[in-house]
Structure 1
Amino acid sequence: MNRHEFFQTSLISSLMDGVYEDELTIGELLSHGSFGLGTFNALDGEMVILDGHCYQLRGDGTSRPAPLGAKTPYATVTDFVPSHRLEVRSPVTRAEISKLIDKVLPSANYMYALRITGHVDWVTTRTVVQQSKPYRPMVEATDGEEIVRTEDVSGSFAGFRTPVYQQGISVPGCHVHFITEARDHGGHVVDFQLGSGLVEVCVGTDLRLRLPISTEFAHAELAPEDLAIQVAKTEHTAGE
């Protein structure tokens, strides 16, 4: 195993507490990695980064190239170097593919970037909608989000699988976003069934963490007792 770095700006617990603004631009973020996910200032959509291109997935389900001057309050990126590959030839659900990935991972104690490319029988997504000040906690900002089901489409999933001990730093378990092959639709993944495709895994051994320098971050509540519940609710999952 070779050392490989993941770069992350801010903390998931900070996002949970409503710290939705920072000064890191998309242009600077891309200097740290060509693959990743996150969100934009004011929660103005979900982020997917593939092959060095950043896309902004909007609240209406559409996607567009993100302006390099746009800013992010939370994102994780890396230069994707696959160490494990798994070809899928028959339909598998998200839960089933998670178990298949577990079998090829060397340990549950490392971080992993996941890239899945192929044909999707169906995928359900939701997308955050731009917020206005004063910002509400994320469990309130994402409450009632519409879940959209898309069927018979080709596209890519970009995600990270994070150990439980990183609770509060990242999303424990799998955090995954989807974008269509045409790069015109996508969102935060709730569930899916992959018809066929390629699963690739990149092992992360080093985490470079950048914290915001702001009054909002300095006064944020980063360790609430119900943090795990908050994250699970915003992820629309009990964890994986």
Structure 2
Amino acid sequence: MSRLTAQVCDCPVHVANAFQRYHQETGEGEIYQTSLMSALIAGVYEGTTTIKELLEHGDFGLGTFNQLDGELIAFDSEVFQLKSDGSANRARHEQCTPFAVMTWFKPEIELPLVRPVSREQIHQIVNEFAPSQNLFCAVRIDGEFNFVRTRTVPKQERPYRPMVEVVEEQPTFTFENAKGVVVGFRTPEYFTGINVPGYHEHFITDDRLGGGHIQEYQVKSGKIQIGRVSKLFIDTPTTVDFLDANLNPEDIQAAIEKTEQ
């Protein structure tokens, strides 16, 4: 175990390593995804998949809502809408999403976080316990945060602009000394355009009144749970917007990096 993990985790080293070895080649679970990230980049902001249907495919996930009306965060079979004013509300089952990722959360590793840890250090911990970058990881953090900086794209109206233009107007928020939950996924780089490569994380406060798409954070204390996922099911839309969209632009990686900042 590296010095980093030893500093933030007081769990027995041999137990954590045993978990890692046991699951080195298994990777259970399946991710359900509706639509593609490249479609969202292209301005396909309306889908037909409902929140009720999402919950039939998992109890944990993230995404957005039709017209980019807020960020979506799901855990413990509850779905919340994180709005562009920084607020949060429970999502209605009839609401629809143009892009979302869900899974049945089955953590293989649980580690206590007993000292301040940055977002970059959290990612290093995940990479250490799930060393192969070729599999998905579902990551959940419950704890107290020194700060969490978020952003949320405001609701859009037709004619829809490309997402790289929309994010230039996104408001940002900072939650200080806040207790809450981080829901995230680590996606392999080779899924660029299909999903968001690297880490994609959303945050909601414990009182369920605020949150957003994460830009940065520092955990003060809490716990992290990690689950490896080896299967992906993609439900591609059949709407006119999706069928007419350019889903393979030359600058897709740069566009995703800009929209995920």
Q: TM-score range by the shorter chain?
A: over 0.9
Residue 30 of structure 1 aligns with an amino acid whose one-letter code is L
Specify which of 124, 146, 155 is matched with residue 149 of structure 2.
124
Q: What corresponds to 1:36 in structure 2? A: 61
Give the TM-score normalised by the residue count of structure 2: 0.89
Post-superposition CA distance 1:75-97 (Å, at most 9, x none): 00011000112211000111111
Cross-structure match for 1:177: 202
CA contact (8 A) 2:153 2:171 kept: no
Aligned residue in 1 for 2:91:
66
Structure 1 Cα separation of the partners of residues 250 and 222 of structure 2: 40
One-letter amino acid matched to 1:102: N
Q: Secondary structure at the match of 2:127?
A: helix
- Structure 1: gaps (5+ residues): none
| Structure exhibiting the larger radius of gyration computed from Cα positions | 2
**Structure 2: any 5+ residue segments left out of the alignment?**
1-25
Query: Which residue of structure 2 aligns with residue 196 of structure 1?
Result: 221
Aligned CA-pair RMSD: 0.9
1:54-83 Cα offsets, whole Å, 9 max, x none, are: 000011011000010000000000110001
- Greater percentage in helix: 2
SS in 1 for 2:169: coil
2:122 to 85, 97, 108: 97
The counterpart of 2:173, out of the listed 127, 137, 148, is 148
SS at 1:141 equivalent: helix
Amino acid at match of 1:136: R
Q: Percent same amino acid among aligned pairs? A: 43
Distance 1:202 1:146 in 2: 31
Deviation at 1:170, TM superposition (A): 0.5
- Matches of 1:66 and 1:45, distance apart in 2: 10
Task: Give 1:146 deviation, angstroms.
Answer: 2.1
1:214 aligns to what?
239
What is the deviation of 1:158? 0.3
Q: Per the alignment, in what secondary structure is the counterpart of residue 216 of structure 1?
A: helix
Equivalent residue in structure 1 for 2:257, among 224, 232, 235: 232
Q: C-alpha distance in 2, partners of 1:140/1:219?
A: 20
CA–CA distance in 2 between the matches of 1:26 and 1:212? Answer: 15
Out of 50, 60, 65, the residue aligned to residue 75 of structure 2 is: 50
Moved over 2 A (4+): none
Output the amino acid matched with 2:141. Answer: I
Letter in 2 for 1:154: K
Partner of 1:87: 112
Query: What's the counterpart of residue 158 of structure 2?
Result: 133
- Give the distance between the partners of 2:89 and 2:119, measured in 1 at CA: 26
Displacement of 1:144: 2.7
Kindly provide the amino acid, as one letter, of the partner of residue 95 in structure 1: E
Once residues 142 and 32 of structure 2 are traced to their aligned partners in structure 1, the CA distance between those partners, rounded to angstroms, is: 23
Q: Is the 8 A contact 2:84 2:171 kept in 1?
A: no
TM-score (structure 1 length as normaliser): 0.96
Q: How many residues align?
A: 236
